[in-house]
Amino acid sequence: MAHPTALPTTPESLLPLVLQAMDATPDARLRQLMAALVTHLHRFVIEQRVSEAEFEKAVDFLTRVGQATGPKTNEVILLADLVGVSTLVALLNNPAGEVVGHEGASHAALLGPFWRQGAPHCEPGESIARGATGGLPLEVAGTVYGADDRPLAGAVVDVWQASPVGLYENQDPRQPEMNLRGRFTTDGLGRYRLRTVKPAGYPVPTDGPCGELLRAQSRAPYRPAHLHFMVSAPAHKVLITQVFADDDEHLASDPVFGVTAALVGHYETFQREGATQATLRHDFHLIAGEPVLPHPPIP
């Protein structure tokens, strides 16, 4: 019996067969993405002459990344962060300097693995530091501007952060449920304000496969201190961003490559009634678009 002629005979001859097998994919965008991904992957394997042992190790690593993802952690997102893909997607889809009035759109940043859907709705000026959180008291205020560069009433400002010891509440059983998380609605002048504590820098989780990767690359795990914000409003694209502390020593060595100059805020410290406090003033400028919220990395 004659053998089919369309069989691979060399490493290079395999790729056309794989692309041909996927060519009937009904979804045009999926067909395009998979063809490009498989092409780059095959070329990488050939160019780097990946050994069987290296392939097995890579498969084991990716398997453990999936197994380590659960209700409390998301190693898949963390891996995307550590290789810069999360920040790359944010930069690609939210170009810096996109024009909105005279100010320009706010810079976007990666979502990170610790956003939770359904944070409590809070009154203006309410504190999101629940329980005995400790830390330097911080007042945060600003204005949200719409696509017309006018103050935007009714926008939702979702904020979350790590504690003064560098842990999010879902990582720390000592913190109350939804500690340091809250959603605020802008008033008729587009203003929001809240109270919290100054965030601390922290290491990304290093107890899983992603931690092994960092150690193998001799990379430091420490993220600079920051607040996370997600700002949403009807007829506007959801803004996901972070505001970093300008006095943090790790601004230039963020392991997830999330810091840009526009995202560094001035956390001003002052004395009030004999106590040290801090303030942060930060405005947000949205662009027109469909308000689509991200899928939460953790419940």
- Give SS3 for 14: helix
CA separation, residue 159 to residues 14, 51, 141, 253 (Å):
49, 46, 12, 24
Handedness of CA 200, 206, 210, 216 (dihedral sign): positive
**For the segment 80-94, what is each residue's pLDDT rounded down to a tens digit?**
999 999 999 988 888
Rounded to two decimals, the pTM is 0.85
The predicted pLDDT at position 99 comes to: 43
Distance of CA 136 to the CA centre of its chain: 25
Give the mean model confidence (pLDDT) for residues 1-21: 84
Q: Tokens for 206, please give them.
A: 């290093």
| Surface-to-core class of residue 152, CB atoms within 10 Å of its CB (0-12 exposed, 13-18 middle, 19+ buried) | buried
**For the segment 255-289, what is each residue's pLDDT rounded down to a tens digit?**
999 998 889 999 999 888 888 999 999 999 999 99
The predicted pLDDT at position 5 comes to: 60
CA separation, residue 247 to residues 123, 158, 209, 256, 265 (Å):
29, 24, 31, 19, 9
* Per-residue pLDDT at 102 exceeds 60: no
Quick one: 67-285 is in which CATH superfamily? Aromatic compound dioxygenase (2.60.130.10)
